[in-house]
Amino acid sequence: MAMLESIVQAEVCDDECPIKKTADVIEGRWTTLVIRELLPGKKRFSEIQRALTGISPKVLTARLRLLERRQILTRAVFATVPPMTEYELTPLGRRLEAVLNAMADFGEQLPDDAG
C-alpha cells in the first residue's frame, strides 16, 4: 500500500506512472475481456470471438495485435489449411490476472443499476 500512496502523492501522472502504464495496456472496451478469455490457456481466434458476443473480427484483430506488441500475449501460426492461429498470455500477461480479479471483486460489489 505504501507504493500506491507514493504514486497518488506524486504531483503529476506522466508516462512513468505505473497506474497510467497499466491503464494504457488494458484500455479499450474489449481488451480486458480478451485477456480474461486467455487466462485459462491457449485459444484460437474463433474461440475468443465466440466467447465475446458482439466483438467484430476487425476489433478483435486490433486488440490481439496491440496486446502482442505490448508483450502481453503471443501468437502462434500453424501452417494448416486453413491456417490456424493460437493466442496465449505471456508471463507478463498472466500477471494481469490479479488486476482482473480485483476488477471482478469490484464488479461483484456494484449495485445492478451502477453499470
Q: Where are the alpha helices (DSSP H) in the chain?
A: 2-9, 18-26, 31-38, 45-51, 57-69, 91-94, 96-109
pLDDT at position 6, please?
Answer: 64
One-letter amino acid of 22: T
The answer to whether position 47 is within a domain reads yes
Mean pLDDT over 71-80 rounds to 95
pLDDT at position 87, please?
Answer: 98
pLDDT at position 12, please?
Answer: 74
- CATH number of the domain that residue 98 is part of: 1.10.10.10
Could you tell me the residue range of the domain that residue 54 belongs to? 42-108
pLDDT digits (tens, 9 = 90+) for 17-36: 888 888 888 888 899 999 99
The answer to whether position 33 is within a domain reads no
The answer to whether position 72 is within a domain reads yes
One-letter amino acid of 14: D
pLDDT at position 3, please?
Answer: 65
Find residue 85's DSSP bridge partners: 77
pLDDT digits (tens, 9 = 90+) for 84-106: 899 999 999 999 999 999 999 99
The answer to whether position 15 is within a domain reads no
The answer to whether position 12 is within a domain reads no
Do the Cβ atoms of 26 and 35 come closer than 8 Å? yes
Closest CA to 45 of 88, 86, 90: 86
| 1 has a pLDDT exceeding 80 | no
Closest CA to 89 of 49, 45, 51, 36: 36
How many residues does the structure list for the chain? 115
The answer to whether position 94 is within a domain reads yes
The answer to whether position 82 is within a domain reads yes
The answer to whether position 66 is within a domain reads yes
| Summary mean pLDDT of the chain | 89
Cell of 114: 451502477
Give the number of domains in the chain.
1
pLDDT band with cut points at 50, 70 and 90 for residue 114:
low
